[in-house]
Chain A
Amino acid sequence: MSTKKDWPLWEVFIASKRGLNHKHVGSLHAADAEMALENARDVYTRRKEGESIWVVESKFIFASNPEDNDAFFEPAKNKVYRHPTFYDLPDEVNKM
């Protein structure tokens, strides 16, 4: 096996239009941030898929663990009153 080193891995986020949020689209290798940005442009926006690109080195991403999902997201599960559909209002109250 070779001892050569891969360039660092970067995660790529793209906003398809001004005003929209950046979405994760994939990852790539690059020696530094500028190269990551240029590679991201060449790899992920060849058909005008984006107007803005963010890149971040993968090692800096701290992610939630799917094993802990039940406990971790539990606070959102039992608060149905956060949704408008929880409230049963008289029909006369139109458009609220």
Chain B
Amino acid sequence: MDEKELLNRFQAQIDAEIKIEPKDWMPDAYRQTLIRQMSQHAHSEIVGMLPEGNWVTRAPTLKRKAILLAKIQDEAGHGLYLYSATETLGISRQEMIDALHEGRAKYSSVFNYPTLNWADIGAIGWLVDGAAIMNQVALMRTSYGPYSRAMIRICKEESFHQRQGFDILYTLSRGSDEQKAMAQDALNRWWWPSMMMFGPHDSESTHSQQSTKWKIKRKSNDELRQDFVDNSVQQVKVLGLTLPDPDLKWNEERQHYDYGPIDWEEFWAVVKGRGPCNRERIAARKKAYDDGEWVREAALAYAKKKKAKEVLA
């Protein structure tokens, strides 16, 4: 079959909602787009552990600490599911990790903001995980089989993340005035970075069209962002707090909430490495990786020695 026939067959498979599996023929651009998007997603799960890790030793109670640890452990798992799924496309784990550490790969910019107080952990769970869930639920139906299966597994685990975050904010919002103020302050700082998680507006998004045709993406950036806004406006009422956007109001005609302009200058500055914590995050990842080098080497040496013994026995 020539390239054109293969391409037609591939598109027909996608149109018929038949998943693409690792050994199937696929256009190189499909493979490269997935490698970029999936490894970026994996890196986000891994780097995303850092802002929360900041509060493990300072969680207010043992229960909160145990919950936070379990949540962070889930994120490590999500990173692993996604790295493995990406490896099915022919890139090695080492190549992906090198790309992250050398600044050639991106991860979600939201993790370049600092976690200044305990309420931030609540805001991250409710808003950041909430936004991630929006995106991930849509991706459960993505056309690449291993990616779709990883998303299904991840979504099962994510709902506890958002609930534990909301629970933290709910508790604070019913506490002392200081606690309530702390929760509001966290929302003020995390709302806009969370809105930016969905990426540029559809009109500005470079990869969107082809990704939609290939069903890598199932919902556009703006559609997902709108769902997120509509949900959040309802939920913030339960907290008795406010979202820091004076333009939020119900639009009868659209049957959605309108929201104010997003500061794209800030978004691009953080994407390009000028966020408050970009350097710190990568430095922390590199240090963890380099410090683990001797462990990885020792484990391999031990495995080799054990195998040699088995052969002799």
Interface set of A (CB-CB < 8 Å, partner B): 1-2, 4-7, 9, 25-29, 31-32, 35, 42-43, 46-47, 63, 65-67
Contact = CB atoms under 8 A, between A and B. Distances in A.
Q: Which 5 residue pairs across A and B have the least CB separation, nearest first?
A: A31-B299, A32-B303, A31-B303, A27-B84, A6-B93
Nearest to B24: A66
A28 B302 contact: no
Contacts of B77: 42-43, 46
B272 interface: no
A50 B36 CA distance: 32
Interface of B: 21, 23-25, 70, 73-74, 77, 80-81, 84-85, 87, 92-95, 98, 149-150, 153, 157, 293, 296, 299-300, 302-303, 306-307
Contacts of A9: 84, 87
A87 B155 CA distance: 44
Given A29-B93, A32-B306, A43 B299 contact: no
A3 to B, nearest CB: 9
B84 A28 contact: yes
Contacts of B74: 46
Contacts of B296: 4, 7, 31
B197 to A, nearest CB: 25
Contacts of B25: 67
Contact of B92 (A6, A27, A65, A67): A6
Nearest to A12: B84
B80 A5 contact: no
B73 A46 contact: yes
